[in-house]
Amino acid sequence: ASDIEKDLAQIHFTEDQIQEKLRELAGRIEQDYEGKDLLLVGVLRGAVMVMADLARSFSRHVEMDWMAVSSYGSGTKSSGVVRIQKDLDTDITNRHVLIVEDIIDTGLTLTWLVSNLQSRKPASVEICTAFRKPDAAKMAVPVKYVGLELPDEFVVGYGLDYAEKYRNLRCVATLAPHVYS
């Protein structure tokens, strides 16, 4: 096994499973947005892989733009208090916006982001996420396009990081205990 593969305990989803699910989501999105322009908004940095693969699964034109947001406050991961680190370069007034995320955990960041984007008077705002954890069910905002459901475990790969590493894995996996020690 390669260096990075030695760090993995259990693979939750393989590259093939992820790609198949993204093609299925892309098909639904293509149908739903037929005849409409579409702006995909990726949330840096985790959504880079999903955006690249989802966008290339379309046979139609799409535009892509990016936002970087960070939640801060008590030091916990998502406080719901969010700061924009990089805003869109695109004016989304009257545009159909689809937010592209790698994973929804608590959903706090995305709840804030949807209301922020709504205030800019787009034609529509929907969410597409490759993965979702159980807590996301408590989210106030409905998620229109959900890929694969994950258990409430810490996972890495396909954009998901542990201390900025493992994002470049093609699968999604849990880490072996030796990684944390």
Min. distance of Cβ 46 from Mn ion in angstroms? Answer: 3
Q: Is 53 in the site for ligand PRP (CB under 6 A)?
A: no
Residues forming beta bridges with residue 125, ordered by sequence position: 97
Among candidate residues 17, 25, 26, the one with its CA nearest the CA of residue 58? 26
Give the list of residues 6+ apart from residue 118 with CB closer than 8 angstroms, or none.
125
- Among ligand PRP, Mn ion, Mg ion, none, the one that 106 touches (CB under a kind-dependent 5 to 8 A) is ligand PRP
Q: Is 104 in the site for ligand PRP (CB under 6 A)?
A: yes
- Please identify which residue in 46, 107, 147, 157 interacts with Mn ion, judged by CB under 5 A: 46
Q: Tell me which of 42, 107, 147, 157 binds ligand PRP, using CB under 6 A.
A: 107
**Which residues lie closer than 8 Å to 95 by C-beta, 6 or more apart?**
37, 39, 122, 123
Is-catalytic flag, 105? yes
- Whole-angstrom Cα distance, residue 58 to residue 22? 10
Kindly list the residues in this chain that would bind ligand PRP in the complex (CB under 6 A): 43, 45-46, 78, 101-110, 161
Kindly list the residues in this chain that would bind Mg ion in the complex (CB under 5 A): 161
